[in-house]
Structure 1
C-alpha cells in the first residue's frame, strides 16, 4: 500500500499540528484529551482543519470511511439494512449481502442491530464503512466498550480484514498493547507528533521520556544525567545486582507486583511468591543490558 502523507493543523477543539504518514494499518497512540479523536474527525471532514489531504472538501467528497467510538449502528434497522445504508441503486442489498458474506458475517444479516454483542457490532460497523469502497478507513478508539478478550480478537480481525482488501487505516487508541499490533505507530503528545516508526522499533528504543510513557513503560528513572526506561517484567530478582528495598507488595495474578526503591522507585513483576518478599526487605535486581532503554529528556 502506498503511504498516505498527512499534514494537518487544528485550532479547535484542540490546538494541534500533526505531520506523519499512514502506512498500512497505522495506530495513532496518545493519552485521553491529546487530540486523537479531533484529528480523526478532521480527516473525515467533521472538524475544521487546514492542510493535506482533502482540506476544504466536505465529508461526502472524501474517499474515507469513518468508525466512531461506538459502532453507531442504526438501532431500528437490521444488520443488512445497516450495511446497505450508504449504498445506492436497486442492487444495494445484494451488494451488502455479498460484502457480509465476504467478511464472514452473513449469518448476522437478518439480526436486529440491537441484538449484537460489542465485538459483533464493531465488525458490522466496519462492513458498513467498507461498503462504499473507501481509500482510507478512520477508526476512533475501535476497542472502546469491548472487554479484554473481545478487544484483542476484534482488533486483530480489523487489521487482517483491511490488509486483505488493501485498505490503509488510521486507528486512534490510548492502549499501547493494541497499538503494538499495527503495521506503523504514530505517537501524539504535547499537541504534536513526537515519533513514528514500526511498533518493534519504538518499543525497542522509545527515544524520549514522553514516548516511553505513551508506550507503557512502568519504570522511568534518572541516574546522574541519564534517563532510563524498563518494563516491570524486565527485572529479575537475583543473588546480586542492584540493591533495592521493597516498599509495597501487591498480588498480581499468580505472582507479585513489588514496588521498590533502588533508590529510584521501580516496579518489578515476579512470578515467585516467597515469604521474604515483604515491605522493608532488601533484594537484588538484575536487568539485561538490551532491556535497559536509554532516553533523552523531552
Structure 2
C-alpha cells in the first residue's frame, strides 16, 4: 500500500525497501505524521532517504523504478542545497513552471510566514531560515512525502527546537507525512511514530510513545537513550539518568563517583545495579563517594524481548 488518503491528502505511507550498496539493509515500516528514523551514524539512514528519493539504488515500494523527478518527494539533505546565486523567492520558485511561477512562490512564502525573507540570497540566511526555505521549495514542488536528513544538525538547541516545531506544524497543517532520519533523541521525542534502525534492519517501530515506553531488546533501549539497563529477577529494565530521583522511601544506593555538569550533577551509584543518575541541583561535595542515598526508579521501562524479525 503506497498511502492512505485523508481529508488533507496522503496521511500514511508504507515503506518496504531493500538496499545492498553502500550498506545492506531491509526497511519495512509506516510513515504517518511526523515519523523519526532513529539510528547511529553509519547505520544507513541517509542512504535509505536517498533511495526513497530515487538517488540511490534499491528495490521496494513505493515508487520503485520511478526517476527522481517523477517521485512526489521533498528531500531536505543535511546541507539544504539552496542555490547561493538566487534569492529566496527564486529558490522557492525553482521547481515551478509558467509565467506566474514567481507569483505562486511569493504566495506560498506569505502563507508560511516567510515573505520577509523573499529578497535575501541563500547565503544570507541562518541555518534555521535555510531549512525553512528548503521546506518551502519542497512544498512548491508538490511533495507527498517530506524526507529530512538530520534536521537538527548545525543548529543550536534554541534554534533547533523552534525550527523543528515550525517544520512539523507546517507539514501537519498540509497533511503531508514527514520522515526525519536522526541520531538525536530530542528529535525522536517529538515524533508521532518511531522506527529504530540497527544491524541492517528495523528492530522496532510503532507509535513513538509505545516504542519509548517498551523498548524491545538492549539495542533498542540503547538507541532510545537509556543510560541504565539492568536486570531484576527474570526481567530487564531501563531508565534514563535524568528520570531517577531522590526519594526518602526509595532504594538504598551508595555514591561511587560524582561530577558536576553545569547546573546539574552526575552520580554513579551502586553496587547493584550500577546506575548513572543526573540530579538537576546540588554540589559535588554534597554527595561524596561512600554516601548512602535513596533513589526512586518508578520511571523505569520494562525492556521487552527483542524481536527476531
Superimposed CA distance per residue, residues 50-99 of structure 1 (whole angstroms, 9 cap, x where no aligned partner): 01001111101111111111111111111111111111111111111111
Match of 2:300 in 1: 292
Answer whether contact 1:29 1:187 (CA < 8 A) is retained.
Answer: yes
Match of 1:47 in 2: 56
Match of 2:92 in 1: 83
1:204 aligns with 2:213: yes
Pairs within 5 Å for 1:181-192: 181-192=190-201
Shift of 1:240: 5.0
SS of the residue 1:158 aligns to: helix
Cα distance change on mapping 1:296 and 1:182 into 2, 3 Å: closer
Match of 1:282 among 267, 287, 292: 292
Superimposed CA distance per residue, residues 12-36 of structure 1 (whole angstroms, 9 cap, x where no aligned partner): 1100000011111211111111111
Match of 1:57 in 2: 66
1:25 aligns with 2:31: no
Match of 1:34 in 2: 43
Pairs within 5 Å for 1:163-182: 163-182=172-191
SS of the residue 2:295 aligns to: strand
CA distance in 1, matches of 2:296, 2:80: 46
Give the number of equivalent residue pairs: 296
CA distance in 2, matches of 1:145, 1:48: 28
Shift of 1:186: 1.2
Match of 1:154 in 2: 163
Superimposed CA distance per residue, residues 270-295 of structure 1 (whole angstroms, 9 cap, x where no aligned partner): 2342644012323222222xx22221
Pairs within 5 Å for 1:243-254: 243-254=252-263
Cα RMSD, aligned residues only: 1.6
CA distance in 1, matches of 2:51, 2:203: 19
1:92 aligns with 2:101: yes
CA distance in 2, matches of 1:268, 1:208: 22
Unmatched segments (≥5 aa) in structure 2: 1-5
CA distance in 1, matches of 2:305, 2:144: 38
Answer whether contact 2:43 2:198 (CA < 8 A) is retained.
Answer: yes
Given the two structures, how large is their TM-score scaled by the length of structure 2? 0.91
Shift of 1:133: 1.0
Instruction: Return 6-15 or 200-209, whichever deviates more.
Output: 200-209
Unmatched segments (≥5 aa) in structure 1: none
Superimposed CA distance per residue, residues 162-204 of structure 1 (whole angstroms, 9 cap, x where no aligned partner): 0111111111111122111122111111111111122222222
1:118 aligns with 2:127: yes
Given the two structures, how large is their TM-score scaled by the length of structure 1? 0.94
Shift of 1:224: 4.4
1:108 aligns with 2:117: yes
Answer whether contact 1:70 1:145 (CA < 8 A) is retained.
Answer: no
Match of 2:147 in 1: 138
Shift of 1:103: 0.5
